[in-house]
């Protein structure tokens, strides 16, 4: 039986020399890989008391919606600035070169709701840290953060200290 990491294609020197790009789309392209990824994410939350799954575009949607559906929870999207139609709140975060901004609907999380964040990858942790700020600004409580893959060498977990973080695959490098 294959392990989840067997479905990940590693591309050396992309997007620049010295980087090994871990391609999550190769998991999605194989039915067994996709099932294994969703099952492992579900296992991360099966004993947890929570109300809603939050996922950032776009791969957080891909992995978060099946978890929410199979666990009979609601799903809340976090999107890039200007993509949501109703009143939003936003958070800026740092990128390697510059900043970005994400938004969530102002009524998406009710005070006291227990939230699980699902995404494909944690690298530096900046996006997830911004999502946590948005959820907490709305009065939600982040009870767990789940990833398919983690690039441990980029120390993204450091930005999420104090939160329960789990990853299906952990790569020690960057």
pTM exceeds cut of 0.85 = yes
pLDDT band at 18 (very low <50, low <70, confident <90, very high): confident
pLDDT digits (tens, 9 = 90+) for 155-171: 999 999 999 999 999 99
Q: DSSP labels for 113-160? A: -EEEEEEEEESSSHHHHHHHHHHHHTT-EEEEEEEEEEEGGG-HHHHT
Residue showing tokens 């976090």: 78
User: Does residue 59 have an active-site annotation?
Assistant: yes
Question: Of the residues 16, 47, 87, 96, which is catalytic?
Answer: 96
pLDDT band at 143 (very low <50, low <70, confident <90, very high): very high
pLDDT digits (tens, 9 = 90+) for 80-118: 999 999 999 999 998 767 899 999 999 999 999 999 999
pLDDT band at 34 (very low <50, low <70, confident <90, very high): very high
Question: Of the residues 42, 59, 114, 133, which is catalytic?
Answer: 59
User: Does residue 157 have an active-site annotation?
Assistant: no
């Amino acid at each position: 039986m294959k392990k989840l990491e067997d479905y990940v294609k590693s591309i050396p020197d992309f997007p620049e020399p010295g980087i090994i790009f871990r391609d999550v789309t190769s998991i999605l392209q194989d039915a067994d890989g996709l099932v294994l990824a969703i099952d492992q994410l579900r296992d991360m939350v099966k004993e947890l008391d929570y109300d809603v799954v939050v996922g950032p575009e776009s791969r957080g949607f891909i992995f978060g919606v099946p978890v929410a559906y199979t666990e009979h929870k609601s799903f809340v999207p976090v999107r890039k600035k200007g993509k949501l139609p109703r009143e939003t709140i936003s958070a800026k975060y740092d990128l390697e070169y510059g900043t970005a901004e994400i938004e969530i609907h102002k009524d998406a999380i009710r005070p006291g709701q227990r939230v699980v964040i699902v995404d494909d990858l944690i690298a530096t942790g900046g996006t997830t840290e911004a999502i946590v700020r948005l959820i907490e600004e709305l009065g939600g409580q982040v009870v767990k953060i789940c990833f398919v893959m983690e690039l441990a060498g980029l120390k993204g977990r450091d930005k999420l200290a104090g939160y329960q973080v789990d990853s299906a695959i952990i790569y020690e490098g960057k």
